[in-house]
Chains A and B, each alone.
Chain A
Amino acid sequence: MTIGIKIAEIKEFSFKLFIKNKVLLAIFTLFSLNLFASETINSDSSNVKSSHNTGFDAGSFIMHHIGDAHEIHFFTLNEGKENEKHFSLYLPIIIKDENGFKIFSSSHFYHNSYTAEIDGKHKHYYLHDGYLLFDEKIYKAEGDNGINIDESGKIANDTVLDLSLTKSVVGIFLTIIILALLFGSAARKYKKNPIKAPSGLQSLLEPLVLFIRDEVAIPSIGKEKADRFVPFLLTTFFFIWLANILGLIPFIGGFNVMGTLGVTIVLATVVFIITNINGKSNYWTHILWPHGVPFPIKLILVPIEILGIFMKPMVLMIRLTANITAGHIIILAFTCLIFIFGQQSAGGGYGAGVGSVLFMIFMYFIELLVVFLQAYVFTLLTAMYFGSAIEEPHHH
């Protein structure tokens, strides 16, 4: 009897192990870290070569680096030569169309490269399994070449719903894991010794937590009501700041999480929802029927105020995205400068290199400040919007 149970247990266990291995295998396949992809470009190699010979295009280089991608590209060896090697982490592609979900590694795309004349320029596009990847967007492949270009030179393929784990999404997951580890271990210490003076990790995090609570939340919202919003403000602040710091670390693929509109739009939407859910009568009367304002002016003011409800989080979103993207662009521009001068002459390249590196060091210091400042500004303005939403009427 017992032996039977044991055997059943072992069977179940090995089955679990099998499932686990399958899942692990699937994950490894999806996140295939292809460090030795010797020939990444296996078709149209003549076209590829010619496109490399057209010269260095700083604009598309920068746009490519600040944009979201379906791979995390670390570096390339022997660029432009026969034995070009890309060192990348290929992220899983998850798409949904009328046939249901499809999941595969993006390495299939990046290893099937083609070029076409799009918008008057030679550009790469990738094909796999009836889908097309161009400019990091996924379309349905059509026709012989897979790509369908209309008269104006734009791509005319049908798009599909792309739920892939892109570079920015991976950046968010990384941020979340770091956040959870940092504050999880700090919280354990706090639980153990609530009254003891902070030590170790606590000493690092506590001033920041206190800063957000005492300098951001309480002055903007008020001492009595701030407690309810402090957790959200803390999460927002650390989430933005850590994601921004992640973008400054070199050799990990150059994350631009907060420079991705898809990320900031979510933050702004959450701020919008929380602000308006908590809106007290004073907040709404201020918008819809402001006191002490003549009627004709009300006609102008009320639409502006209503627009303002949407404008405020939108401004938050654009400010954060633009600032972080701009920082990346400046540093990349200095990098490009080296290549542009290097194309003229080797000496020019080295000369520009020295100057560019100095400027980049300077910019990195500025960026360290900016990434903190943007997280702070976002949190502060959010706190002020919350404060205005729950404000009690003034007694005149």
Chain B
Amino acid sequence: MLSAGLGTIVWTSIAFLTVLFLLGKMAWKPILKSLKEREDFIANSIKSAETANNQLSQLKAENEILLTEARLEREKILKEAREMGEDIISKARKASVEEEQRILSKAKHEIENEKSAAIADLKSHVVSLSIEMAEKLLKKEFESKENQIKLVEENLKSATLN
């Protein structure tokens, strides 16, 4: 039953060595090679995906920082702008008030000047008018001789020598 016949040994040797050679060349070589290739491919893919992921998260963090910075910057700029605006407005207000004041006082001054000039003018006009009238009156009064003598006499009377 368990005898090892020489024929079986010979045929098995031929068959096994043939299959070892054939499978080695035709099957195992391409199969193992492509398995290795695929494994390398998968390993590389995972590695590159990991790096990409890392880069992405790094980028994200950087973006976050940039975003917060930008937000802060914006707030700062807005605040400054508001302040500046307020400043400008208050300055403008102050300046306008001053200007107004200045214009007002100038106007007042001018009005005053004009007024006093007008008054002076009026005064001189009134004087010359009254002088003219007086002159005319006097001329009319003193056209006759008796009036002249009367005046003199009156004056003399008033000018009593005490």
Contact = CB atoms under 8 A, between A and B. Distances in A.
A231 B9 contact: no
Given A67-B1, A263-B12, 11 more contacts: A166-B8, A169-B15, A184-B26, A187-B26, A193-B34, A194-B38, A195-B38, A231-B24, A235-B19, A262-B7, A270-B16
A382 to B, nearest CB: 13
Interface string B11-51: 11101111110111011111111110110010000000000
A350 interface: no
A163 B31 contact: no
Interface string B102-135: 0000000000000000000000000000000000
In the A-B complex, list the 3 residue pairs whose CB atoms are closest, starting with the nearest: A262-B8, A194-B34, A183-B27
A127 interface: no
A232 B17 CA distance: 10
A68 B13 CA distance: 17
A227 B35 CA distance: 12
A4 to B, nearest CB: 42
A245 interface: no
Contacts of A75: none
Interface of B: 1-13, 15-20, 22-24, 26-35, 37-38, 41
Interface SS of chain B: helix
A209 interface: yes
A7 to B, nearest CB: 40
Interface residues of A, number: 50
B4 A187 contact: no
B16 A231 contact: no
A172 B11 contact: yes
Interface of A: 63, 66-68, 94, 137, 161-166, 168-169, 172-173, 176, 179-180, 183-184, 186-187, 190-191, 193-196, 206, 209-210, 213, 227, 230-232, 234-235, 239, 260-263, 265-267, 270, 321, 325
Nearest to A194: B34
A187 B6 contact: no
29 contacts: A67-B1, A162-B6, A163-B6, A163-B7, A163-B10, A166-B8, A168-B8, A169-B11, A169-B15, A172-B12, A172-B16, A176-B18, A179-B19, A180-B19, A183-B26, A187-B30, A190-B30, A191-B30, A194-B37, A195-B37, A195-B38, A209-B32, A213-B32, A234-B28, A235-B24, A261-B3, A262-B3, A270-B16, A270-B17
